[in-house]
Amino acid sequence: MPESTSRPRTSRAVHRVHEVTTRPSIAIVVACLVVVMWIIIVATDFNEHIQFAFGSVCAGVTVTMVFVLQHTQRRAQSALQLKLDELVRAVPQADDHFIGVEAAPDDELLDREQQHLDDHVAIRAGES
């Protein structure tokens, strides 16, 4: 699938980082390198400034990866939701009140869930 150039440059960059860092082979190599570096730093008794810098870099990378993962998951979830909404629109028997329900208040979601469960129970009772 071709990458859209209409997306913001930062979004494309975040997705590239996500694609590279989520490859198992790369993740294993990076994790092993970090562990080896940590062992070297601790075992050779580097000064506190180097240990602090290493810890700070690791913390910064962790926070950055949290935002990368959150961005890509949010985008994938939004795309999936749009596809599901389109399927609901395409099926004539579907209840189109569910389109956009993810933006509804919590109490409305709970009411719709309970209504859905009640309908399911009623259908099951009618089959017996």
29-59 pLDDT, tens digit per residue, is: 888 888 888 888 878 877 888 888 888 988 9
In the predicted model, what is the mean pLDDT of the chain?
84
CA within 13 Å, CB half, 90: 6
Q: Which residue has the higher pLDDT, 89 or 7?
A: 89
Percent of the chain whose pLDDT exceeds 70: 95
Tokens of 98: 């569910």
Amino acid at 92: P
pLDDT at 12 over 70: yes
| Cα three-residue angle 81-100-124, rounded to 5 degrees | 85
Task: Please state the rounded mean pLDDT for residues 117-126.
Answer: 87
Region 52-74: what's the mean pLDDT? 88
pLDDT classification of 3: cutoffs 50, 70, 90: low
Give residue 10's Cα distance to chain centre: 17
Residue 104 pLDDT: 82
- Check pLDDT > 70 for residue 5: no
Q: Which of 47, 51, 17 is nearest to 37 (CA)?
A: 51
Q: Is the dihedral of CA 24, 30, 33, 38 positive or negative?
A: negative
Q: What is the pLDDT of residue 128?
A: 61
Q: Which residue has the higher pLDDT, 70 or 7?
A: 70
DSSP labels, 55-83? HHHHHHHHHHHHHHHHHHHHHHHHHHHHH
